Structure formats: structure tokens, C-alpha cells
Amino acid sequence: MGDAQDVDKAVRGARKAATEWSRTSLARRVAVLYRFRHLLAEGLDELAMLVTAEHGKVHSDAAGEVARGLEVADFACGIAELLKAEHSLDVSTDVDAYSLRQPLGVVAGITPFNFPALVPLWMAPLAIACGNAFV
């Protein structure tokens, strides 16, 4: 279990990483996520065994958590299309509208104990794909 100093240290490290990661091209971020997705799939059984050992879940439930998290990683790998900016001409007289999707910086996930793999995997791949650091 961590304390406030551990949280502060993690956030400081994430801030440093976020500065560089937010400037990383979308193509490179997606390549990193594909690698993460590959490692997650490759280590699914081992991760499930860790969840079973540390949290007491039956192996099939633990494997299901990781598998559903893998689905989110799959989605995150294809997020590039959703992150493009938009430009709408003449939304009103002499008015154009622009939308830019930019990283927020450091994103934190506070997750429940009963889904130790699934909930973080719902959050982290998407936050990272969008150019954020995740704690």
C-alpha cells in the first residue's frame, strides 16, 4: 500500500513522461499500443495467474478480465481515426468551427479492488493512445 509521497512521486514521473509523450506522433503512439496489445495477449495466462494469486479470483474470471482488457487495447490501437481534428465551414454566417483533440497531461485511474486488471485496462490504453500519461 502506498502513501501520499508515493502518489506525489508517481505524478512527478508521469508529468515528465507526459511532456514528451504528448508530442509523440499519433502513428508512433499507435505502434506502441500495438506492441502493448501483443504483450498483453502473449501474457494473458500469466497475468490471469497473477490476479488469481494476488486477489483470489478463480482463474477463469481472472482470464476473462484480461481478455476484456485486451479488447479495449484493440480499440485503442484503432483510435487514430477518432483523434483527428474537425473543421466545419459556415456553421453560421461567416463562422467556421474547429475542434482539436489534444492530450490532457497526466490522467489518474482510481480503481476498485474487485477488478484489479479489467478496470485499469479500461482506462490506461485509451488515455495513453490520446497522448496522456497514466497513473
Q: For position 40, which CATH number holds?
A: 3.40.605.10
- 104, containing H or E segment: none
Q: What mean pLDDT value characterizes the chain?
A: 94
Alpha-carbon span 39 to 19, nearest angstrom = 25
Say whether pLDDT at 87 is over 90: no
Q: How confident is residue 86, by pLDDT bands cut at 50, 70 and 90?
A: confident
61 contact partners, CB below 8 Å, separation of at least 6: none
Say whether pLDDT at 1 is over 80: no
- Looking at the chain, the whole-number percentage of residues with pLDDT higher than 70 is 100
Say whether pLDDT at 85 is over 90: no
Residue 86 phi, psi dihedral angles, 5° rounding: -125, 150
Task: Flag the least confident range among 2-6, 65-69, 70-74, 117-121.
Answer: 2-6
Do 121 and 68 touch, CB atoms closer than 8 A? yes
The structural domain count of the chain equals 1
The residue among 94 and 82 whose pLDDT is bigger is 94
For 7, the grid coordinates are 502518489
Q: How confident is residue 4, by pLDDT bands cut at 50, 70 and 90?
A: very high
Q: Bridge-partner residues for 92, per DSSP?
A: 95
Q: Domain of 81? A: 4-134
Alpha-carbon span 18 to 9, nearest angstrom = 14
- 97, containing H or E segment: strand 95-99
- SS3 assignment, position 80: helix
Question: What are the tens digits of pLDDT across the range 23-81?
Answer: 999 999 999 999 999 999 999 999 999 999 999 999 999 999 999 999 999 999 998 88
What torsion do the CA atoms of 70, 72, 76, 79 make, to the nearest 10 degrees?
140
Alpha-carbon span 90 to 60, nearest angstrom = 54
pTM equals: 0.85
